[in-house]
Amino acid sequence: MRFHCAWRCVMAAATLIILAAAQTAAAQSSYPAKPVRIVVPFAPGGVNDLVGRRYAQEMARVSGVTFIVENKGGAAGTIGAVEVARAKPDGYTLLLGGTATHVINPAAMRKPAYDAEKSFAPIGVLMLAPTGAAVHPSVPARNLKQLVALAKAQPGKLSFGSGGTGTVTHLTGELFKKLGGVELLHVPYKGVGPALIDVVAGHIPVVFPTMSPGSLSHHRTGRIRLLAICSEQRLDAAPDVPPAAQAGMPGLIVEAMIAMFAPAGTPKTIIDQLHQAQAKVVLDPGFQAFLRESGAVPVTSSSPERTAQFLRTEISRWTPIIQATGYKVE
């Protein structure tokens, strides 16, 4: 009698496990069955927001399901990233993350709110946005070697503007200092736009801006001089500006990524489905033109695995530089 009771209990438990597995499989096979939410961890109007909204439109087109953008700005992107890291891993809450949320912030957090690698499941990199090295037209430097020589001739007196302490534009300047063995005075602004305005006005001589319609327009009109693109290749949007290696500093490669992430634990079948849809979006000529016009480089060969590897490389590369600046995210 005891044996039969025990056997019935075992069979009942096995049946429940099989039913649960079947329900999970059914839920995954019907994905997506409702709108998918994309958290943009920055305020509306910025490049992340613009890319996120265009991406949502394109994903809806290729998948037939609505993608909704929600802006969750604050703490340099940390608030939105934390929300996604803690969300249910069912594929209905995604993060438009990148260098700020997954490289800079984790290295600068006093008390890490998430693990950049373990708290998320990568879907794929959408684009890389290189920075550049630019000067006021009166600065007697036509390439990076000449800018280094100028800085060495007047140590600590040459200043550079950035979009704020801890931003990719600041870190580009720090990497330039390290590679060139020079001292530059950092002048942080509340955004790279105001920094560019002060370079145009001649108030500061150097800036390391992100490539954007604004910085490219200033270069084309001669209000600033772009010495180099901090990338391994020329930009379609600035074919007259050499990559860093050709301008005298091969190691000055700074390409901020924008990528899609899901919460860790999201089933692989869902990650693969999202990646396949994203691959179609990134290969679309209209979407590529949208990215290139803003000074970005579309990434057409990404994958969850390559994104994870790229992220590991970037974290290893930038963490010592970020920590050396003393920058902290509270």
CATH of the domain at 96: 3.40.190.150
Q: How far apart are the first and last CA of the chain?
A: 63
pLDDT (tens digit per residue) in 152-195: 999 889 999 999 999 999 999 999 999 999 999 999 998 899 99
Same domain, 163 and 224: yes
pLDDT of residue 29: 63
pLDDT of residue 112: 85
pLDDT (tens digit per residue) in 17-57: 444 444 444 444 689 999 999 999 998 988 899 999 999 99
State which of 228, 247, 266 marks the end of a domain: 247
Same domain, 138 and 243: yes
Q: Tell me if 43 sits within 8 A of 71, measured CB to CB.
A: yes
- Please check the confidence at residue 10 and state whether its pLDDT lies above 50: no
DSSP per-residue string spanning 36-47: EEEEE-S-TTSH
pLDDT band at 255 (very low <50, low <70, confident <90, very high): very high
Same domain, 232 and 138: yes
Mean pLDDT of 290-314: 94
Mean pLDDT of 140-146: 96
Same domain, 118 and 146: no
- Please check the confidence at residue 3 and state whether its pLDDT lies above 60: no
State which of 247, 265, 298 marks the end of a domain: 247
Same domain, 261 and 318: yes
State which of 202, 224, 247 marks the end of a domain: 247
**Residue 289 included in any domain:** yes
- Please check the confidence at residue 201 and state whether its pLDDT lies above 60: yes
**Residue 280 included in any domain:** yes
**Residue 174 included in any domain:** yes
The CA-atom distances, in angstroms, between 25 and each of 22, 35, 37, 266, 277 are 5, 19, 22, 13, 20
pLDDT of residue 26: 45
**Residue 4 included in any domain:** no
**Residue 91 included in any domain:** yes
Cis peptide before 32 (omega within 30 of 0): yes
Same domain, 118 and 54: yes
Q: How far apart are CA 139 and CA 147, in angstroms?
A: 9
87: containing domain: 35-127+257-325
pLDDT (tens digit per residue) in 108-125: 988 889 999 999 999 999
pLDDT of residue 47: 87
Same domain, 121 and 264: yes
Give the total number of structural domains in the chain.
2
Same domain, 191 and 266: no
**Residue 10 included in any domain:** no
- Please check the confidence at residue 102 and state whether its pLDDT lies above 60: yes
**Residue 192 included in any domain:** yes
Task: Give Dmax over CA atoms of the chain in angstroms.
Answer: 96
**Residue 29 included in any domain:** no
- Please check the confidence at residue 14 and state whether its pLDDT lies above 80: no
Q: How far apart are CA 167 and CA 311, in angstroms?
A: 17
Mean pLDDT of the chain: 90
Same domain, 169 and 229: yes
Same domain, 166 and 315: no
- Please check the confidence at residue 6 and state whether its pLDDT lies above 80: no
Residues 6+ apart with CB under 8 A from 38: 52, 55, 56, 67, 68, 69, 70, 94, 95, 96, 260
